[in-house]
Structure 1
Amino acid sequence: MPPQKLELTWFNKDKALIPTETGKYGYTWVDPRDPRYCETHTLTVLETVTGRRNEKRDGVQYGERADLEPQSDNLLIQGESGDVLEALTRVPELRDKYVGKVKCVYIDPPFNTAQTFTHYEDNLEHSVWLTMMRDRLLHLRDLLSEDGSIWVHLDDVENHRMRMLMDEVFGSGNFVTEVVWEKTYSPRNDSKGIPAVTDTILVYRKSDQFSPNRLPRTAEMDGRYKNPDGDIKGAWKSADTTAPLAQERGYFGGIQHPISGELIYPPGSRHWVLSYSRILTSISEYGNYIAVPPSEDSLFRRAQLMGIPVEEVRSDMPDLVLATDPETFPSRSAVDRIESGNWPEMYFSQKSIGRKAHLSEVAGRIAANFLPHSEVGHNDGAIKEIRALFPGQNPFTTPKPERLLERIIHIATNPGDVVLDVFAGSGTTAAVAQKMGRRWVTCELLEDTFNRFTLPRLTKVVNGQDMGGISTSKSERIDDTDNGLPEGMTPDEAQKLTSLLNKAIKEHDDLKKSADIKALKALVKTKNSGDVVNWLGGGGFTVAKLAPSCYDYTPETGYTHLTDAATGETLIASVAANLGFHLSASDPHFSGRRNNEHLAVVEGVLTEAKVGDLMAHLPEGHSILFAATNLDEGVRDVVRSYKNGSRVVHVPLDLFPFGEEEEN
């Protein structure tokens, strides 16, 4: 990626941040080489949650997602987001699984609004906030797949700064869009300024391989398609028969109507949307059509429609007419063809010409950058979703509705892809990803939030005990007419019209029996689509927490030392992770392995006898990296004497060679 010519700068941008207190948003500036910042934390697995899938019931409508295979390869972590991201990108077992393989990142970080919310402190100073986010974005970029995208949810406090920061990290050329979400349907009337009714979601891609998915069609959209002629390809609707004329490409000759005998032309500077050959194939089902040179009347008519002199109209563009006596209209064969049904792509009605667009061939909707609450929900709805899961509690001030995450995850991923969110909160992102057949990784800093809300919610999801949110699609009004609702009228508008009409004729029995009133109601008839169940439960996830720090650093002395937690398996896992070794749990002699190099973690003194014992178990052509908390005098020379490339490091001094003298 080429260097950015424009960068955002801030106080202490060259510094790093470490938490001042476990489990809270509070940070201290340190040198990026500080062991407290450089340490790679490992994960400690606490449990595996396995869900239960409900059985389908008769009489219930089920959506396509209900048939997706529930995912079990998911990870829920309790710990600080920066340390979690370092674990995902540096611990070899996690690095191999996630680096370059996450399809979608959605984060809803602290908005930095100088307010203190119930479950986290949200008053970070701008430079601290920017450094915190910069460090996380760098890891998130590494985790994204080449066709992946990141969605950062913000309000208007840090949005402009975050945009420049993301330009710096991802490259301005990878900016996709700025999505605006209508987060409320009713602005507060007690606001002293201009109330905010929207949030912003910045979207960046990893590379130009990103390709957003189209949105599924709604029942209302599909309801516009009918099948009045019994078409074997299924439901269809009338589509445009013409398109703007581009450099006189396309066919724009007249087509003779087989009922009236009149020539029909594309209006204005347009041509028929279908090619000449496809048009001829279709209309030939109505009679024997032949191409004839345009008459003077035909050229004059074209000139009028196109607004050009007659002499400029192309005379080499033939008209398509029936090879029959003009006195025989309407054509008997055409009438029979219309009445027989299953009309061709370009078809004739009694008075006009049309073109079919089949529902089976129509792609989904293109995703736009405005998300109205009517489509993806709002904050109040999200609060109700959480209250339904945790009755009697009001745990989060601004939760996000499941439909919002559904829209994002649908656009950015496919079933089986990995979705990552490192600010879990109530766990909405992971819950929606699970219901959509995606794999997920998420983490939550606050232990209380994790234990009271995140973990219980996701447990309910996999056990099929959460049927709110996107688990069930609520019914909607859809078209129930024979030929489609009047153009421009929605099913909801049609239902309202019927309701108002019924009220108006309530006291008039004669009008209730009126054929005209009945015909009017038939024109705007709608029905209820019924609720659709999209989630039956199932799948599962692994619950883990960040292992405790094994190393500490005292700035006053410039000395790195082991913590009380640095012992046993915790120490072994930490050393292996920080040195880049995969753990070798089944190996009776060595702690880890990296290609042909084996790791031997020694808690205590590394002696000549210990070296000899381990060398005896070393395969031919391999070497050992001894990592010991204490070294016997001369043991380094002993290891070198084997001349097989083996070496020794002291834990922690050789792991983190950073001291007071290097700061000065």
Structure 2
Amino acid sequence: MEKLTQETVNFTEKNIDRIAALFPSAITETKDADGKLKRAVNFDQLKQLLSEEVVDGEECYEFTWVGKKQSIIEGNRPIRKTLRPSKEESKNWDSTENLYIEGDNLDVLKLLQNSYLNKVKMIYIDPPYNTGNDFIYRDNFKVSKEDYEEELGLFDEEENRLFKNTETNGRYHSDWCSMMYPRLQLARNLLTDDGVIFISIDDNEVHNLRKICDEVFGEENFVSQLIWERAYSPKNDAKYISNSHDYVIMYAKTIAQYKIGRLPRTDEANARYQNPDNDPRGVWKPSDMSVKTYNEECDYPITTPTGRVIEPPTGRCWSLSKKAFLERLQDNRIYFGSDGNSVPCIKRFLTELKFDGMAPQSIMFYKDVGHSQEGAQEVTKLIETGAFDGPKPVRLLRRLLTLANTEKDSIILDFFSGSATTAHAVMQLNADAEDGGNRKFIMVQLPEETDSKSEAYKAGYKNICEIGKERIRRAGKKIEEKLNAKSKEGELFKEEDRKTPDTGFRVLKVDSTNMKDVYYSPSQYNQQMLLELESNIKEDRTDIDLLYGVLLDWGVPLSLPHITEKIGGKNVHFVNDTDLVACFEEQVPEEVIREIARRKPLRVVFRDSSFRNSPDKINVTEIFKTLSPETTIKVI
């Protein structure tokens, strides 16, 4: 029972709590006047989080590396980019709620901030392990063409050098940390308050990853460092130790709100429960009554039904007080063995367990969740070629989906998608789940080119995204075929009760903004530029490109259904009926605007050139005030 503090509120601690909720990485430790550790605000870190410039400060307990402050700035820096739909590469565009996004995941995470803030229940990522040459990151330093060819580097579409992080690089660990830090900061924003993130990693960077996550998520939100037994046999050519495991680091967004998903009970676990005395409450298992921590109140003799007097073991006491023991004895919850002469134990009934299911263990054995070769075989069987190195098995992702306690409508994000194992696992779980699963996935992957000598390249897969998309298509087809076969065999409910899981996906690709670059000072304008800027939208952009740019800016989910209607000869787009209505036509007539207003949309957007002049814009505002005053109106 808590005692009253008998003092007023400590507003300093309250304010630190508020800062910790918003910026957990700004909280550190210091010593008070008595030399005791206490929480404090790292104001230099807080200033850095709120600044676009590098801020220097005094030393304190913190994890740092060369380039850390710059990586924070990079994560906070806005970008002028958008996501452009690719219907021809998608599956079930009109009905699916799944997304496959191609592009740099740092850009994508920034673009998703409005539409998916606090909406993602689970994030899983399998980032590069930094083993010497397994990741390429964006480097802001420009080099000459000669240097580029000499160093065998690469450039992205914005002429940023893409630099391979080899062990010869003097900032080997620092560059990996700088790559991960801003991505995890942005990812945290997307998690629901009861959400959780899983990160696969090995010994190369697990120590640095834990420190980064302690800052970004708060060390109090650490759940577990799971061990995955990825190999089923030792490598006899290992120089020292045959490493048979990887790690999966697990953090909650808010540990107080996260509820662990428990595993189904096994026959082996249930077999420990029996009913030797035919207790009407069912099967039970014995629990030892003696404890090591001594308590005089729990030190007393117990007389068995046969008259034998039993004392607690030397140096110990019973786990129950005498009063509690007598209450349980009267309720037939104490067992003295079949002969009534044994050391007493407490009955623990299977039907009275505190939680449903079994508590997950920190070690995930390959027999339960699969091994690395199983993951490779799954891709090979689907793609029919050795298409990808090191994919995780579907069973591993199924276990993590369970631990995340995903509900039937949860959103699952993987922004290092690779071969899209996460998407495969989500579709399979939806098909198997009894909750009518409609979990939705968002896969993000850089279209990194495959090696021209690889089997994947020879099979026609020119980049990793092509592998991931094809895997989802084929995995979805197999899931559908399996469900159809079961239905014919009568294993499922009536046809009208059967729901085929969503196996489609919308493909979106990172591109430059839809809008022309019009940011010139007045002295830079000339007559030709003014003529060219009559339209502020790029000529190669379609209505659908503009629509998805609006969804991102306005924070509307990209998975919502949308249709196009002809009203008064003009194309009008309806997103999720009337969540958002858009018309990007030139000079939209008043009757079209009135019809849109009569539909009472939540939001409506027009093109700036949809109106001939300012009076027309004012007229539109007045029309909506009359017919649909709750509508928010914007233009692009």
TM-score (normalizing by structure 2):
0.61
> What SS does structure 1 have at the residue aligned with 2:398?
helix
Q: Is the contact made by 1:41 and 1:84 (CA closer than 8 Å) also made in structure 2?
A: no
Whether 1:265 and 2:265 are equivalent positions in the alignment is: no
Alignment of 1:196-215 (within 5 A): 196-207=243-254, 208-215=256-263
Residue 419 to residue 246, structure 1, CA distance change in 2 (3 Å)? farther
2:15 maps to which residue?
none
Cα distance in 2, alignment partners of residues 123 and 556 from structure 1: 35
Q: Given the alignment, which residue of 139, 145, 148 partners 2:192? A: 145
Q: Is the contact made by 1:43 and 1:547 (CA closer than 8 Å) also made in structure 2?
A: yes
Q: How far apart are 1:368 and its partner, in Å? A: 3.9
Cα distance in 2, alignment partners of residues 593 and 283 from structure 1: 65
Aligned-pair Cα RMSD in Å: 4.9
Alignment of 1:230-249 (within 5 A): 230-244=278-292, 246-249=294-297
Cα distance in 2, alignment partners of residues 430 and 353 from structure 1: 54
Structure with more contact order per residue of length (Cα contacts < 8 Å, sep ≥ 6): 1
Q: Is the contact made by 1:462 and 1:540 (CA closer than 8 Å) also made in structure 2?
A: no
Cα distance in 1, alignment partners of residues 293 and 240 from structure 2: 51
Q: Is the contact made by 2:575 and 2:581 (CA closer than 8 Å) also made in structure 1?
A: yes
Cα distance in 1, alignment partners of residues 411 and 582 from structure 2: 34
1:453 maps to which residue?
471
Whether 1:440 and 2:440 are equivalent positions in the alignment is: yes
Q: How far apart are 1:275 and its partner, in Å? A: 4.9
Q: How far apart are 1:585 and its partner, in Å? A: 5.0
Cα distance in 2, alignment partners of residues 450 and 278 from structure 1: 60
What amino acid sits opposite 2:549 in the alignment?
S
Q: How far apart are 1:611 and its partner, in Å? A: 7.1
Alignment of 1:594-613 (within 5 A): 601-604=583-586, 610=588
Cα distance in 1, alignment partners of residues 593 and 271 from structure 2: 75
> What SS does structure 2 have at the residue aligned with 1:540?
coil
> What SS does structure 1 have at the residue aligned with 2:91?
strand
> What SS does structure 2 have at the residue aligned with 1:249?
helix
2:393 maps to which residue?
401
2:224 maps to which residue?
177
Q: How far apart are 1:385 and its partner, in Å? A: 4.1
Alignment of 1:296-311 (within 5 A): none
Residue 16 to residue 352, structure 1, CA distance change in 2 (3 Å)? closer
Cα distance in 2, alignment partners of residues 463 and 597 from structure 1: 35
Q: Is the contact made by 1:581 and 1:593 (CA closer than 8 Å) also made in structure 2?
A: no
Which digits, 9 at most, give the CA deviation of each residue in 1:43-102, with x for residues without a partner? 75943399xxxxxxxxxxxxxxxxxxxxx9851425234555455443xxxx3xx54232
1:544 maps to which residue?
506
Which digits, 9 at most, give the CA deviation of each residue in 1:171-205, with x for residues without a partner? 33323332232322434333446554332222221
Q: How far apart are 1:141 and its partner, in Å? A: 1.7
Residue 165 to residue 626, structure 1, CA distance change in 2 (3 Å)? same
Q: Is the contact made by 1:599 and 1:627 (CA closer than 8 Å) also made in structure 2?
A: no
Which digits, 9 at most, give the CA deviation of each residue in 1:353-382, with x for residues without a partner? 433223333455443433343543321333
Residue 257 to residue 627, structure 1, CA distance change in 2 (3 Å)? same
> What SS does structure 1 have at the residue aligned with 2:504?
strand
Cα distance in 2, alignment partners of residues 109 and 148 from structure 1: 19
Structure showing greater radius of gyration is 1
1:371 maps to which residue?
364
Q: Is the contact made by 2:259 and 2:405 (CA closer than 8 Å) also made in structure 1?
A: no
Which digits, 9 at most, give the CA deviation of each residue in 1:295-353, with x for residues without a partner? xxxxxxxxxxxxxxxxxxxxxxxxxxxxxxxxxxxxxxxxxxxxxxxx75434532314
Q: How far apart are 1:15 and its partner, in Å? A: 7.2
Whether 1:77 and 2:57 are equivalent positions in the alignment is: no
| Comparing 381-390 and 546-555, the one that deviates more | 546-555
2:607 maps to which residue?
627
Q: Is the contact made by 2:295 and 2:317 (CA closer than 8 Å) also made in structure 1?
A: no
Residue 12 to residue 629, structure 1, CA distance change in 2 (3 Å)? farther
Which digits, 9 at most, give the CA deviation of each residue in 1:247-305, with x for residues without a partner? 4233x33232333x3212222243333454554356569xxxxxxxxxxxxxxxxxxxx
1:424 maps to which residue?
417
Cα distance in 1, alignment partners of residues 207 and 329 from structure 2: 58
Q: Is the contact made by 2:276 and 2:338 (CA closer than 8 Å) also made in structure 1?
A: no
> What SS does structure 2 have at the residue aligned with 1:441?
strand
What amino acid sits opposite 2:120 in the alignment?
V
Q: How far apart are 1:137 and its partner, in Å? A: 2.6
What percentage of aligned pairs have identical amino acids?
26
> What SS does structure 2 have at the residue aligned with 1:541?
coil
Q: Given the alignment, which residue of 34, 48, 70 partners 2:92? A: 48
Q: Given the alignment, which residue of 26, 29, 35 partners 2:80? A: 35
Q: Given the alignment, which residue of 402, 426, 431 partners 1:410? A: 402
